[in-house]
Protein backbone atom coordinates (compact mmCIF):
# COMPACT_ATOMS: atom_id res chain seq x y z
CA UNK A 1 0.00 0.00 0.00
CA UNK A 2 1.50 3.31 -1.12
CA UNK A 3 1.29 6.45 1.00
CA UNK A 4 1.13 9.98 -0.30
CA UNK A 5 4.16 12.17 0.32
CA UNK A 6 2.45 14.17 3.07
CA UNK A 7 1.40 10.95 4.84
CA UNK A 8 4.91 9.51 4.56
CA UNK A 9 6.45 12.66 6.03
CA UNK A 10 4.01 12.79 8.92
CA UNK A 11 4.85 9.18 9.70
CA UNK A 12 8.61 9.68 9.46
CA UNK A 13 8.42 12.81 11.61
CA UNK A 14 7.14 10.67 14.49
CA UNK A 15 10.50 8.86 14.30
CA UNK A 16 12.47 12.11 14.69
CA UNK A 17 13.27 12.36 10.97
CA UNK A 18 13.23 16.04 10.06
CA UNK A 19 10.98 17.24 7.19
CA UNK A 20 10.16 20.81 6.11
CA UNK A 21 7.10 22.54 7.64
CA UNK A 22 4.08 21.80 5.46
CA UNK A 23 0.28 21.78 5.24
CA UNK A 24 -2.14 19.88 3.01
CA UNK A 25 -4.78 21.82 1.05
CA UNK A 26 -7.76 20.69 -1.02
CA UNK A 27 -8.79 24.17 -2.22
CA UNK A 28 -6.84 27.19 -3.52
CA UNK A 29 -8.04 29.18 -0.49
CA UNK A 30 -6.62 26.58 1.89
CA UNK A 31 -3.35 26.61 -0.06
CA UNK A 32 -3.02 30.37 0.28
CA UNK A 33 -3.80 30.22 4.00
CA UNK A 34 -1.22 27.45 4.47
CA UNK A 35 1.42 29.52 2.66
CA UNK A 36 0.74 32.51 4.90
CA UNK A 37 0.97 30.32 7.99
CA UNK A 38 4.27 28.77 6.87
CA UNK A 39 5.60 32.27 6.03
CA UNK A 40 8.76 31.23 4.19
CA UNK A 41 10.63 33.06 1.42
CA UNK A 42 10.50 29.92 -0.74
CA UNK A 43 7.29 27.86 -0.82
CA UNK A 44 6.62 24.68 -2.79
CA UNK A 45 3.25 23.56 -4.12
CA UNK A 46 3.41 19.78 -4.63
CA UNK A 47 0.68 17.70 -6.29
CA UNK A 48 -0.17 14.66 -4.15
CA UNK A 49 -0.48 11.67 -6.45
CA UNK A 50 0.80 8.15 -5.92
CA UNK A 51 3.54 8.41 -8.53
CA UNK A 52 7.00 9.88 -8.93
CA UNK A 53 8.52 12.23 -11.54
CA UNK A 54 6.00 14.93 -10.59
CA UNK A 55 8.41 17.84 -11.02
CA UNK A 56 9.11 17.06 -14.69
CA UNK A 57 5.35 16.99 -15.30
CA UNK A 58 4.79 20.39 -13.67
CA UNK A 59 3.37 18.93 -10.46
CA UNK A 60 5.96 20.58 -8.18
CA UNK A 61 6.36 24.35 -8.27
CA UNK A 62 8.55 26.73 -6.27
CA UNK A 63 6.97 30.11 -5.55
CA UNK A 64 7.67 33.21 -3.52
CA UNK A 65 4.37 34.45 -2.09
CA UNK A 66 0.96 33.26 -0.91
CA UNK A 67 -1.01 34.70 -3.87
CA UNK A 68 1.16 32.80 -6.33
CA UNK A 69 0.64 29.66 -4.24
CA UNK A 70 -3.12 30.10 -4.54
CA UNK A 71 -2.86 30.44 -8.33
CA UNK A 72 -0.65 27.36 -8.67
CA UNK A 73 -2.97 25.31 -6.44
CA UNK A 74 -5.96 26.34 -8.55
CA UNK A 75 -4.12 25.20 -11.67
CA UNK A 76 -3.25 21.79 -10.18
CA UNK A 77 -6.30 20.79 -8.14
CA UNK A 78 -8.79 18.73 -10.09
CA UNK A 79 -6.42 18.32 -13.03
CA UNK A 80 -5.04 15.04 -14.34
CA UNK A 81 -1.27 14.88 -13.86
CA UNK A 82 0.58 12.63 -16.32
CA UNK A 83 4.10 11.62 -15.27
CA UNK A 84 6.59 8.97 -16.34
CA UNK A 85 5.12 6.68 -13.67
CA UNK A 86 1.37 7.25 -13.99
CA UNK A 87 0.95 5.98 -17.53
CA UNK A 88 -0.87 7.98 -20.21
CA UNK A 89 -4.11 8.13 -18.20
CA UNK A 90 -2.42 10.09 -15.40
CA UNK A 91 -3.88 10.66 -11.93
CA UNK A 92 -6.26 13.36 -10.72
CA UNK A 93 -4.76 15.82 -8.24
CA UNK A 94 -7.15 15.98 -5.28
CA UNK A 95 -4.82 17.64 -2.77
CA UNK A 96 -1.60 19.62 -2.73
CA UNK A 97 1.16 19.86 -0.14
CA UNK A 98 2.23 23.41 0.67
CA UNK A 99 5.75 23.23 2.06
CA UNK A 100 8.60 25.53 3.02
CA UNK A 101 11.71 25.39 0.88
CA UNK A 102 15.04 24.39 2.42
CA UNK A 103 18.59 25.60 1.99
CA UNK A 104 20.37 22.84 0.08
CA UNK A 105 24.13 22.56 -0.41
CA UNK A 106 24.06 18.86 -1.36
CA UNK A 107 21.44 16.20 -2.08
CA UNK A 108 21.48 12.56 -0.95
CA UNK A 109 19.42 9.50 -1.85
CA UNK A 110 18.51 6.99 0.86
CA UNK A 111 16.22 3.97 0.62
CA UNK A 112 15.48 0.92 2.73
CA UNK A 113 13.81 -2.20 1.38
CA UNK A 114 13.84 -6.00 1.71
CA UNK A 115 16.37 -8.07 -0.21
CA UNK A 116 14.29 -10.90 -1.67
CA UNK A 117 17.29 -13.19 -2.04
CA UNK A 118 18.59 -13.01 1.54
CA UNK A 119 15.48 -11.86 3.41
CA UNK A 120 17.51 -9.12 5.09
CA UNK A 121 16.71 -5.42 5.22
CA UNK A 122 19.01 -3.55 2.87
CA UNK A 123 19.94 0.13 2.95
CA UNK A 124 20.82 1.85 -0.33
CA UNK A 125 22.51 5.24 -0.47
CA UNK A 126 23.74 7.51 -3.23
CA UNK A 127 25.49 10.85 -3.22
CA UNK A 128 23.97 13.50 -5.53
CA UNK A 129 20.37 12.31 -5.23
CA UNK A 130 17.32 14.16 -6.49
CA UNK A 131 15.51 14.07 -9.81
CA UNK A 132 16.81 11.56 -12.34
CA UNK A 133 18.88 9.59 -9.82
CA UNK A 134 17.69 6.26 -11.26
CA UNK A 135 18.94 7.14 -14.75
CA UNK A 136 22.31 8.22 -13.38
CA UNK A 137 22.69 4.92 -11.55
CA UNK A 138 21.75 2.89 -14.64
CA UNK A 139 24.31 4.80 -16.70
CA UNK A 140 26.94 4.06 -14.01
CA UNK A 141 27.50 7.77 -13.45
CA UNK A 142 26.61 7.39 -9.78
CA UNK A 143 28.10 4.94 -7.28
CA UNK A 144 25.78 3.09 -4.89
CA UNK A 145 26.45 2.27 -1.24
CA UNK A 146 24.70 -0.78 0.26
CA UNK A 147 24.38 -2.07 3.80
CA UNK A 148 22.39 -5.04 5.14
CA UNK A 149 20.63 -5.21 8.52
CA UNK A 150 18.97 -8.05 10.35
CA UNK A 151 15.49 -7.59 11.82
CA UNK A 152 16.96 -6.29 15.09
CA UNK A 153 19.04 -3.73 13.20
CA UNK A 154 22.36 -5.27 14.20
CA UNK A 155 25.46 -4.31 12.24
CA UNK A 156 29.13 -4.95 12.53
CA UNK A 157 30.84 -2.17 14.48
CA UNK A 158 31.85 0.66 12.17
CA UNK A 159 29.68 -0.46 9.23
CA UNK A 160 27.22 2.42 9.53
CA UNK A 161 29.93 5.08 9.76
CA UNK A 162 31.71 3.52 6.76
CA UNK A 163 28.43 3.59 4.77
CA UNK A 164 27.91 7.29 5.57
CA UNK A 165 31.49 8.24 4.78
CA UNK A 166 31.10 6.42 1.45
CA UNK A 167 28.60 9.11 0.52
CA UNK A 168 31.32 11.75 0.87
CA UNK A 169 29.92 13.42 3.98
CA UNK A 170 31.77 15.46 6.56
CA UNK A 171 32.32 13.95 10.00
CA UNK A 172 29.57 15.93 11.75
CA UNK A 173 27.06 15.09 9.03
CA UNK A 174 28.06 11.41 9.19
CA UNK A 175 26.79 11.25 12.78
CA UNK A 176 23.52 12.97 11.86
CA UNK A 177 22.89 10.66 8.92
CA UNK A 178 23.67 7.66 11.11
CA UNK A 179 20.93 8.77 13.50
CA UNK A 180 18.47 9.16 10.62
CA UNK A 181 19.31 5.66 9.39
CA UNK A 182 18.77 4.11 12.82
CA UNK A 183 15.40 5.87 13.12
CA UNK A 184 14.55 4.85 9.56
CA UNK A 185 15.25 1.20 10.38
CA UNK A 186 13.09 1.41 13.52
CA UNK A 187 10.22 2.85 11.48
CA UNK A 188 10.69 0.22 8.75
CA UNK A 189 10.29 -2.64 11.22
CA UNK A 190 7.58 -1.01 13.35
CA UNK A 191 5.20 -0.30 10.47
CA UNK A 192 5.98 -3.41 8.38
CA UNK A 193 7.17 -1.34 5.43
CA UNK A 194 8.38 -2.83 2.17
CA UNK A 195 10.01 0.45 1.08
CA UNK A 196 11.04 3.73 2.68
CA UNK A 197 12.69 6.10 0.21
CA UNK A 198 13.98 9.60 0.96
CA UNK A 199 14.99 11.46 -2.17
CA UNK A 200 16.39 13.95 -1.90
CA UNK A 201 17.71 14.52 1.58
CA UNK A 202 19.02 18.08 1.66
CA UNK A 203 22.37 18.67 3.31
CA UNK A 204 22.28 22.30 4.44
CA UNK A 205 25.29 24.61 4.59
CA UNK A 206 25.67 24.00 8.34
CA UNK A 207 25.43 20.21 7.92
CA UNK A 208 21.79 19.66 8.93
CA UNK A 209 19.75 17.02 7.10
CA UNK A 210 16.17 17.64 5.89
CA UNK A 211 14.02 15.14 3.96
CA UNK A 212 12.59 17.04 0.98
CA UNK A 213 10.64 14.14 -0.53
CA UNK A 214 9.65 10.76 0.86
CA UNK A 215 7.96 7.58 -0.33
CA UNK A 216 6.62 4.87 1.97
CA UNK A 217 5.12 1.57 0.83
CA UNK A 218 3.52 -0.71 3.43
CA UNK A 219 3.22 -4.49 3.22
CA UNK A 220 -0.49 -5.12 2.57
CA UNK A 221 -0.22 -8.56 4.16
CA UNK A 222 0.69 -6.96 7.51
CA UNK A 223 -2.01 -4.29 7.60
CA UNK A 224 -4.13 -6.38 9.97
CA UNK A 225 -1.52 -5.45 12.59
CA UNK A 226 -1.85 -1.72 11.80
CA UNK A 227 -5.51 -0.69 11.48
CA UNK A 228 -4.50 2.95 11.98
CA UNK A 229 -2.24 2.71 8.91
CA UNK A 230 -4.82 0.80 6.85
CA UNK A 231 -7.08 3.84 7.22
CA UNK A 232 -4.53 5.90 5.26
CA UNK A 233 -5.25 4.01 2.02
CA UNK A 234 -6.41 6.43 -0.65
CA UNK A 235 -9.25 4.50 -2.23
CA UNK A 236 -9.82 7.23 -4.81
CA UNK A 237 -6.47 6.36 -6.38
CA UNK A 238 -7.17 2.61 -6.58
CA UNK A 239 -8.86 1.01 -9.55
CA UNK A 240 -12.52 0.32 -8.65
CA UNK A 241 -12.31 -3.27 -9.85
CA UNK A 242 -9.16 -4.00 -7.85
CA UNK A 243 -10.66 -2.36 -4.77
CA UNK A 244 -13.84 -4.45 -5.03
CA UNK A 245 -11.72 -7.59 -5.37
CA UNK A 246 -9.61 -6.70 -2.32
CA UNK A 247 -12.76 -6.34 -0.22
CA UNK A 248 -13.59 -9.95 -1.08
CA UNK A 249 -10.16 -11.45 -0.33
CA UNK A 250 -9.09 -11.49 -3.99
CA UNK A 251 -5.96 -9.97 -5.53
CA UNK A 252 -7.01 -8.95 -9.03
CA UNK A 253 -5.72 -6.93 -11.95
CA UNK A 254 -7.50 -6.33 -15.24
CA UNK A 255 -5.47 -7.00 -18.38
CA UNK A 256 -5.99 -6.63 -22.12
CA UNK A 257 -6.43 -10.25 -23.27
CA UNK A 258 -9.37 -12.61 -23.79
CA UNK A 259 -8.59 -15.57 -21.48
CA UNK A 260 -10.17 -15.16 -18.06
CA UNK A 261 -7.85 -16.52 -15.36
CA UNK A 262 -9.21 -18.06 -12.13
CA UNK A 263 -6.36 -19.20 -9.87
CA UNK A 264 -5.71 -19.60 -6.15
CA UNK A 265 -2.25 -18.45 -5.11
CA UNK A 266 -0.06 -15.61 -6.36
CA UNK A 267 2.78 -17.87 -7.55
CA UNK A 268 0.41 -20.20 -9.38
CA UNK A 269 -1.31 -17.16 -10.88
CA UNK A 270 1.94 -15.72 -12.22
CA UNK A 271 3.00 -19.11 -13.59
CA UNK A 272 -0.37 -19.41 -15.33
CA UNK A 273 0.05 -15.98 -16.95
CA UNK A 274 3.52 -16.93 -18.17
CA UNK A 275 2.27 -20.21 -19.64
CA UNK A 276 -0.63 -18.50 -21.41
CA UNK A 277 1.85 -16.07 -22.99
CA UNK A 278 4.18 -18.92 -23.97
CA UNK A 279 1.25 -20.69 -25.65
CA UNK A 280 0.48 -17.58 -27.70
CA UNK A 281 -2.53 -16.45 -25.69
CA UNK A 282 -3.38 -13.20 -23.90
CA UNK A 283 -4.66 -13.18 -20.30
CA UNK A 284 -7.69 -11.02 -19.54
CA UNK A 285 -6.71 -10.67 -15.88
CA UNK A 286 -4.49 -11.74 -13.02
CA UNK A 287 -6.24 -13.41 -10.10
CA UNK A 288 -5.04 -14.67 -6.74
CA UNK A 289 -7.75 -16.12 -4.50
CA UNK A 290 -6.51 -15.74 -0.94
CA UNK A 291 -6.77 -18.61 1.50
CA UNK A 292 -9.15 -16.51 3.61
CA UNK A 293 -11.73 -16.22 0.80
CA UNK A 294 -15.07 -17.99 1.25
CA UNK A 295 -17.21 -19.27 -1.62
CA UNK A 296 -19.24 -16.03 -1.77
CA UNK A 297 -16.01 -13.98 -1.88
CA UNK A 298 -14.76 -16.17 -4.71
CA UNK A 299 -18.05 -15.69 -6.54
CA UNK A 300 -17.56 -11.91 -6.35
CA UNK A 301 -14.05 -12.24 -7.78
CA UNK A 302 -15.13 -14.51 -10.63
CA UNK A 303 -17.97 -12.10 -11.39
CA UNK A 304 -15.31 -9.50 -12.20
CA UNK A 305 -13.90 -11.86 -14.84
CA UNK A 306 -17.36 -12.49 -16.26
CA UNK A 307 -18.04 -8.75 -16.39
CA UNK A 308 -15.14 -8.33 -18.81
CA UNK A 309 -16.69 -8.39 -22.32
CA UNK A 310 -13.32 -9.34 -23.83
CA UNK A 311 -13.19 -12.68 -21.99
CA UNK A 312 -13.96 -15.60 -24.32
CA UNK A 313 -13.03 -18.54 -22.09
CA UNK A 314 -12.38 -19.22 -18.40
CA UNK A 315 -9.13 -20.96 -17.51
CA UNK A 316 -9.58 -22.41 -14.00
CA UNK A 317 -6.28 -23.60 -12.52
CA UNK A 318 -6.88 -24.77 -8.96
CA UNK A 319 -4.58 -26.42 -6.48
CA UNK A 320 -6.54 -27.32 -3.35
CA UNK A 321 -4.55 -26.88 -0.17
CA UNK A 322 -5.43 -27.34 3.48
CA UNK A 323 -6.86 -23.83 3.86
CA UNK A 324 -8.49 -23.52 0.42
CA UNK A 325 -10.02 -26.79 -0.83
CA UNK A 326 -11.03 -27.29 -4.44
CA UNK A 327 -14.77 -27.51 -3.77
CA UNK A 328 -14.90 -24.01 -2.24
CA UNK A 329 -13.55 -22.49 -5.44
CA UNK A 330 -15.87 -24.53 -7.67
CA UNK A 331 -18.83 -23.51 -5.52
CA UNK A 332 -17.83 -19.86 -6.00
CA UNK A 333 -17.58 -20.45 -9.76
CA UNK A 334 -21.08 -21.94 -9.95
CA UNK A 335 -22.58 -19.12 -7.87
CA UNK A 336 -20.92 -16.46 -10.03
CA UNK A 337 -22.17 -17.97 -13.32
CA UNK A 338 -25.72 -18.30 -12.01
CA UNK A 339 -25.74 -14.75 -10.70
CA UNK A 340 -24.27 -13.15 -13.83
CA UNK A 341 -26.14 -15.31 -16.34
CA UNK A 342 -23.10 -15.34 -18.63
CA UNK A 343 -21.85 -18.81 -19.54
CA UNK A 344 -18.38 -19.10 -21.07
CA UNK A 345 -16.48 -22.25 -22.02
CA UNK A 346 -14.51 -23.45 -18.98
CA UNK A 347 -11.15 -25.18 -19.21
CA UNK A 348 -10.29 -26.76 -15.88
CA UNK A 349 -7.18 -28.14 -14.22
CA UNK A 350 -8.08 -29.36 -10.76
CA UNK A 351 -5.98 -31.14 -8.16
CA UNK A 352 -5.58 -31.33 -4.39
CA UNK A 353 -7.80 -31.29 -1.34
CA UNK A 354 -11.48 -32.18 -2.01
CA UNK A 355 -11.01 -32.45 -5.77
CA UNK A 356 -13.57 -35.29 -6.12
CA UNK A 357 -16.16 -33.29 -4.16
CA UNK A 358 -15.38 -30.34 -6.43
CA UNK A 359 -16.07 -32.45 -9.52
CA UNK A 360 -19.41 -33.53 -8.05
CA UNK A 361 -20.39 -29.92 -7.40
CA UNK A 362 -19.28 -28.95 -10.89
CA UNK A 363 -21.56 -31.62 -12.36
CA UNK A 364 -24.48 -30.28 -10.29
CA UNK A 365 -23.93 -26.79 -11.73
CA UNK A 366 -24.06 -28.30 -15.27
CA UNK A 367 -21.41 -25.95 -16.67
CA UNK A 368 -19.67 -26.41 -20.07
CA UNK A 369 -16.34 -27.73 -18.76
CA UNK A 370 -13.32 -29.42 -20.29
CA UNK A 371 -11.03 -30.90 -17.64
CA UNK A 372 -7.36 -31.33 -18.46
CA UNK A 373 -4.72 -33.52 -16.86
CA UNK A 374 -2.05 -30.85 -16.36
CA UNK A 375 -1.42 -27.12 -16.55
CA UNK A 376 0.10 -27.04 -20.02
CA UNK A 377 -2.74 -29.05 -21.53
CA UNK A 378 -5.26 -26.72 -19.88
CA UNK A 379 -3.44 -23.60 -21.06
CA UNK A 380 -3.10 -24.72 -24.69
CA UNK A 381 -6.74 -25.80 -24.74
CA UNK A 382 -7.90 -22.40 -23.38
CA UNK A 383 -5.77 -20.58 -25.98
CA UNK A 384 -7.33 -22.69 -28.74
CA UNK A 385 -10.86 -21.96 -27.49
CA UNK A 386 -10.12 -18.23 -27.36
CA UNK A 387 -8.93 -18.38 -30.96
CA UNK A 388 -12.07 -20.26 -32.02
CA UNK A 389 -10.04 -23.30 -33.08
CA UNK A 390 -12.12 -25.80 -31.09
| Model confidence band, residue 167 (pLDDT cutoffs 50, 70, 90) | confident
Give Cα 71 to chain centroid, integer Å. 32
Residue 177 confidence (pLDDT) above 80: yes
pLDDT reported for residue 266: 87
Buried residues in 323-358 as b, exposed as e (16+ CB within 10 A): ebbbbbbbbbbbbbbeebeeebbbbbbbeebbbebb
Q: How far, in Å, CA of 217 to CA of 243, rounded?
A: 17
| Model confidence band, residue 185 (pLDDT cutoffs 50, 70, 90) | very high
Name the pTM for this structure: 0.72
List the catalytic residues. 109, 197
| Model confidence band, residue 237 (pLDDT cutoffs 50, 70, 90) | low
pLDDT reported for residue 133: 60
**Contacts (Cβ under 8 Å, ≥6 apart) of 249:** 289, 290, 292, 293, 294, 297
The SS3 of residue 91 is: strand
Contact 301, 292 (CB under 8 A): no
Residue 335 confidence (pLDDT) above 90: yes
Residue 235 confidence (pLDDT) above 70: no
Geometric angle at alpha carbon 127, from 124 and 133, rounded to 5°: 75
Q: pLDDT tens digits, residue range 274-299?
A: 999 999 999 999 999 998 899 999 99
Q: How far, in Å, CA of 200 to CA of 203, rounded?
A: 9
pLDDT reported for residue 72: 97
| Model confidence band, residue 165 (pLDDT cutoffs 50, 70, 90) | confident
DSSP secondary structure string for all residues of 321-366: -SSS-HHHHHHHHHHHHHHH-----EEEEEEETTHHHHHHHHHHHT
pLDDT reported for residue 142: 53
| Model confidence band, residue 105 (pLDDT cutoffs 50, 70, 90) | confident
Residue 22 confidence (pLDDT) above 80: yes
Q: What is the CA radius of gyration of the chain?
A: 25
List own/partner pairs for 353-360 with CB under 8 A and 24 or more apart: 353/320, 353/321, 353/322, 353/325, 353/326, 354/320, 354/325, 354/326, 354/327, 354/328, 355/320, 355/326, 357/325, 357/326, 357/327, 358/318, 358/320, 358/325, 358/326, 358/327, 358/329, 358/330, 359/330
Q: pLDDT tens digits, residue range 201-218?
A: 999 888 889 999 999 999
Domains of the chain, CATH where assigned: 1-20+103-238 (3.30.470.20), 21-101 (3.30.1490.20), 239-386 (3.40.50.261)
Q: pLDDT tens digits, residue range 35-68?
A: 999 999 999 999 999 988 899 999 999 999 999 9
Q: How far, in Å, CA of 104 to CA of 92, rounded?
A: 30
Q: How far, in Å, CA of 292 to CA of 220, rounded?
A: 14
Measured CA to CA in angstroms, residue 140 lies from 115, 133, 136 at distances of: 21, 11, 6
| Model confidence band, residue 246 (pLDDT cutoffs 50, 70, 90) | confident
15 burial (CB, 10 Å; 0-12 / 13-18 / 19+) is middle
| Model confidence band, residue 239 (pLDDT cutoffs 50, 70, 90) | low
pLDDT reported for residue 226: 92
Residue 135 confidence (pLDDT) above 60: no
Q: Please state, as a whole number, how many other Cβ atoms lie within 10 Å of the Cβ of residue 284.
A: 25
Amino acid sequence: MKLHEFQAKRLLSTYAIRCPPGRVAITPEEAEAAAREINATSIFVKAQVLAGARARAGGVRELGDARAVRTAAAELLGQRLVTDQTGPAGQIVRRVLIEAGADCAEELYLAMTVDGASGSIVLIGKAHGGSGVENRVRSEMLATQKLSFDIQGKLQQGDLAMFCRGLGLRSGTVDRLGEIIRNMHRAFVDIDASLIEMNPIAVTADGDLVVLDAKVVLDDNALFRHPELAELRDEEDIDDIELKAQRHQINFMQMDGDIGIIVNGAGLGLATLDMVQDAGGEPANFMDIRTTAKSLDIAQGIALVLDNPSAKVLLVNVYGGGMQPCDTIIEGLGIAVRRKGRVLPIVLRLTGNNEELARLRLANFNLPTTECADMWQAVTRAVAVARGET
